Structure 1
Amino acid sequence: MTELITAFTTLFVIIDPIGLAPLFVALTQGQSAAQRRGIAIRACLIALAILVVFAFVGESLLEFVGISMPAFRIAGGILLFLTALEMLFQKRQTRRQGHTDDAAEDHIDDPSVFPIAIPLIAGPGAIATIILLTEEAASVLDYASVFGVLSAVLLLVFLMFLIAIPLERLLGRVGVNVVTRILGMLLAALAIQFILDGLRSFGLAP
């Protein structure tokens, strides 16, 4: 039980469902409630699939293609930084308004895979954590326990996303624009931290 609590706490802190909720609001600004529910479901399922795959073959896969975890962290940080710039300068909303084809718009502006599923949910930290947790598993029951804990954390992420949907109505358009800019700055800082952590692992940053 102690190990399960430790695993749950670790994944909860790394994935941070509470912190993801306002980011979800900002990244899905202008989407309908139904679209947001679909994005939330897809993002959580994709993140679950990614983390399960990495739990079994993650370390071997990265070694096979010659990618280190620090390099993976740096790449995730760069991609997050580009998303943060879009949030800061409202490029996502401008691009959305420029599309008249709803189908094309849904395809282009669906953030369920990137950046919500990866790297916000299934980021380098979560991937490294799930690899470490499964490395310590010695039986089928241990694996089942880890995946049960992972599923519980992702369920909390999904519930926080659903709670975040009415948050936009509460804030109003001006409030959402303010929050989007602030979260864009925070996301940019998080992206830089990812990059610095990766560089530090290579010995290139203090």
Structure 2
Amino acid sequence: MGFSLKEIASVTMILFAIIDILGSIPVVIELRNRAGHIQSEKATIVAMALMILFLFIGEELLQLIGVDLPSFAIAGSFVIFFISMEMILGINVFKDEVPETVSIVPLAFPLLAGAGTMTTILSLRSEYRIENIITGIVINCIIIYLVLKNVRRLEAILGKTGVSILRKAFGVILLAIAIKLFRGNTGL
């Protein structure tokens, strides 16, 4: 079957919602203020490498510890559910405080390529072709790079209210994705 624009669009939107780069603008601004500079290129490349690597070896890691993909997808649906509730309700479940120093670790991992993203990538693997997932990852990494390079301009354009509205809208999308993953892997 190969590349599918429909699958690429779906994967891109799902990853865009879970990565939540627009909702992370306030955290990125705080990191930039503390460090004075964020290495956008390095953060983006490391996040993309982690996501693609997990796409290929994540399932083997699960097999090594004795977990099947549907079980992981169901667990992932719960993680995505809680992330969506965090976005919709404005509560802080997963994100820690901003660290004192900025490096690849707090930005690329876990902010961009964290547990929710990795869970989603493996869950997507059960529904979409690998080349479409990789394309979705690359598209998201281009968006991440552009946002990191232009974070101050975006904040000025969107304003605090705009960022909040985007975060809540993508939270609702994630909630629907969590329910779909749960239903698709439980037979409900």
Both proteins in one fold, TM over 0.5: yes
Task: Output the TM-score relative to the length of structure 1.
Answer: 0.63
Match of 2:158 among 171, 178, 183: 171
Aligned residues: 172
Aligned to 2:100: 102
Match of 2:26 among 29, 43, 49: 29
Identity %: 16
Match of 2:142 among 134, 139, 159: 159
Taking structure 1 as reference, are residues 85 and 153 closer, same or farther at Cα in structure 2, changes over 3 Å only? closer
Once the two structures are superposed, residues 112-160 of structure 1 have per-residue CA deviations (whole angstroms, 9 ceiling, x without a partner) of: 332464134x231236645xx6xxxxxxxxxxxx6xx765543322112
Q: Which structure shows the bigger proportion of residues in helix conformation?
A: 1
Aligned to 1:47: 51
Q: Which has the larger radius of gyration?
A: 1
Aligned to 2:84: 84
Task: Calculate the aligned-residue CA RMSD, in Å.
Answer: 3.7
Once the two structures are superposed, residues 34-76 of structure 1 have per-residue CA deviations (whole angstroms, 9 ceiling, x without a partner) of: 548355333211111112325xxx3x65555443322111111
Once the two structures are superposed, residues 62-110 of structure 1 have per-residue CA deviations (whole angstroms, 9 ceiling, x without a partner) of: 55544332211111110111111222232349x76xx585249x84994
8 Å contact kept, 2:22–2:166: no
In structure 2, stretches of 5+ residues that fail to align are none
Query: Following the alignment from structure 1 to structure 2, what is the Cα–Cα distance between the partners of residues 177 and 192?
Result: 23
Task: Output the TM-score relative to the length of structure 2.
Answer: 0.68
In structure 1, stretches of 5+ residues that fail to align are 134-145
